[in-house]
Amino acid sequence: MAILHILQYPDERLHKVAKKIESITGATRKLISDMAETMYAAPGVGLAATQVDMHQQLIVIDVSETHDELLVLINPELIFSSGESKCEEGCLSVPGIYDKVERAEKITVRALNAKGEEFTLDAEGLLSVCIQHEMDHLQGKVFVERLSHLKQVRIRNKLKKRLRETF
């Protein structure tokens, strides 16, 4: 296993749209375990392949308190959503920035697991938010891009300032 480099916003590669995975190979399984290791090490509750510059429809999530309930979603499709919720979100690609984003409250998603078996999952609360956040990444969308234009400008300036202070 290996810790992968996580792209940092506003890296243009975060805007690439991920392609469907046609067959689950050894390389896919290696990517899944590397992504899981990277997410746990960060630490974070979710990671999309886009964030490690692999533009395939693959997400790993673990919202459990014990960090032992890894959820793998391959080619996820939203088949139902209802309600509205506004939760504070953060992202491993936008460190130190947290803000409230409007999402559906409940969702049903259909995907393949790591073995290539199809399953459907009903989610609400943190899991629902996390799945929607990660599915956005696969579409090339970072959560800050769901905020107002003014907030996006402020966030970009803050991140630029931080980069200047680091180097």
Point out the residues that are catalytic.
134
* Closest residue to Ni ion using C-beta atoms: 91
Instruction: Print the binding letters for residues 51-90 with Ni ion: x by CB under 5 A, - otherwise.
Output: ----------------------------------------
Reading the block at residue 130, the tokens are 């996390």
CB of 117 to Ni ion, least distance (A): 26
> Cβ distance 83 to 37 under 8 Å?
no
The residue (of 72 and 91) whose beta carbon lies closer to Ni ion is 91
Q: Could you give the CA distance from residue 165 to residue 167 in angstroms, rounded to a whole number?
A: 6
What is the smallest separation between the CB atom of 91 and Ni ion, expressed in angstroms? 3
Place of tokens 């429809």: 57
Window 126 to 145, contacts with Ni ion (CB under 5 A): none
Q: What are phi and psi of 87, to 5 degrees?
A: -120, 155
The CB-of-118 to Ni ion minimum distance in angstroms stands at 25
Bridge partners of 48, per DSSP, are: 59
Helix, strand or coil, per DSSP, at residue 58? strand
CA distance 161 to 159: 5
91 interacts with Ni ion by CB under 5 A: yes
Number of residues that bind Ni ion (CB under 5 A): 1
Residues in contact with Ni ion by the rule CB under 5 A: 91
